Amino acid sequence: MVELRLLGPLDIVRDGEEAPALIAHPKRLALLAFLALTPPPGFRRRDSLVAIFWPELGDAHARAALRQAVHVIRRTLGDALLVSRGSEELGVDRRLLWCDAVAFAEDAAAGRYDDALALYVGPLLDGFFLSAAPQFEEWLEERRSSLGALAARGAWSLAANAARAGDGPLALQWARRAFAFTPDDESALARLLGILVDTGDRCGAIREYERFARRLRRDYGIDPAPATAAVVRGTATGTPVMPRSENALTMDVRELR
């Protein structure tokens, strides 16, 4: 069995032993990750793979590079790990490969948020960059963002469950983790402020807002939305007015880049 860990610290282990040769070769690692995260039935056409990973090469050279990458992956992780469907499609045998990002998404989809967030120890391929492969970088950014948003939804769900159970400290713990997944989202900030107020930490809510506002001005040159500021003004006077819905606040400020 091969274990492929893509969330947080990168690791590839086969039968208890690491595979440093693949970790040290970004393009082969990226190819394996791309195939592992391909939704069922899990196959990709070879012509699309060469366009994604070797766009700078002509077709013949790109296909040769793909064959070499497949050969090295099979030699390192087992001949049966990569499978073909016909002559033009390539995928992974999921019976032989466990991937933390896939397991995380499956647990989250099933509502097993405790299990899912135990796997989510960092963003997908955190800090990883593949030069001269813009399609892969676009795909990675989209998947990284979607998995981060899924982690945030799971953490907010656990925060809400803890709040309903009357466990304020646990609700706050999950809320802080949820906000950390989407730190530019003002609606997430408002939810965190609400939980801080509910747990009696109004000063903490104001400090959290001020920290967010400073970072927003530093990184984007803008101020928080008026609705967010109104939340904090109410908190300071002891009569917090929380937004009626997340839509009452601005969009994620990353959309302003």
**Nearest-5° angle of CA 87, CA 125, CA 68?**
30
Contact 155, 181 (CB under 8 A): yes
Distance, CA of 100 to CA of 140 (rounded, Å): 16
pLDDT score, position 226 = 85
Q: What is the pLDDT of residue 21?
A: 77
Architecture of the structural domain at 1-154 = Orthogonal Bundle (1.10)
- The predicted pLDDT at position 157 comes to 97
- Torsion sign (Cα): 108, 109, 112, 115: negative
pTM of the model: 0.85
Quote the pLDDT of residue 181: 93
pLDDT the model gives residue 247: 35
H, E, C per residue of the chain: CEEEECECCCEEEECCEECHHHHCCHHHHHHHHHHHCCCCCCEEEHHHHHHHHCCCCCHHHHHHHHHHHHHHHHHHHCCCCEEEECCCEEEECCCCEEEHHHHHHHHHHCCCHHHHHHHCCCCECCCCCCCCCHHHHHHHHHHHHHHHHHHHHHHHHHHHHHHHCCCHHHHHHHHHHHHHHCCCCHHHHHHHHHHHHHCCCHHHHHHHHHHHHHHHHHHHCCCCCHHHHHHHHHHHHCCCCCCCCHHHCCCCHHHHC
CA distances 167 to 20, 115, 190, Å, are: 44, 20, 19
The domain locations on the chain are 1-154, 183-257
pLDDT for res 228: 79
pLDDT, mean of each 10-residue run, the chain (257 residues): 94 87 89 95 94 94 96 94 93 96 97 97 94 94 96 97 95 96 90 89 90 92 84 63 37 34
- How big is the chain, counted in residues? 257
